[in-house]
Amino acid sequence: MRFHGTSWIEVRDRSGNIVLSMTGNDGTSREIAIASPGEITVGNVAAVEASWRGRRLDLATQSKQNVARVRLD
């Protein structure tokens, strides 16, 4: 995850437990290691670049009201 502005993220593991919940600011980056399947929720999607297993996630196409919910398989 790379933040290009203020945004928040929440990451859940396969059991639905929250493993990370944070607010990120411009210039912040964070690596998260979870086993699949998992789920990530991102607020203010335009401010975040995310990738999973080396592939960039297209948060914009999966967002509703500027919040993206993405299943990580």
What would the two tokens of residue 26 be? Answer: 């411009």
∠ CA 36-32-27 to the nearest 5 degrees?
Answer: 140
Distance from the Cα of residue 29 to its chain's centroid? 11
Residue 34 — very low, low, confident or very high, per pLDDT cuts 50/70/90?
confident
Count other Cβ atoms within 10 Å, centred on residue 11: 20
What is the per-residue pLDDT for 22?
Answer: 96
The pLDDT of residue 35: 85
Q: Where are the alpha helices (DSSP H) in 1-64?
A: none
Distance CA 7, CA 68 (A): 12
- Residue-wise pLDDT for 44-58, tens only, equals 999 999 999 899 999
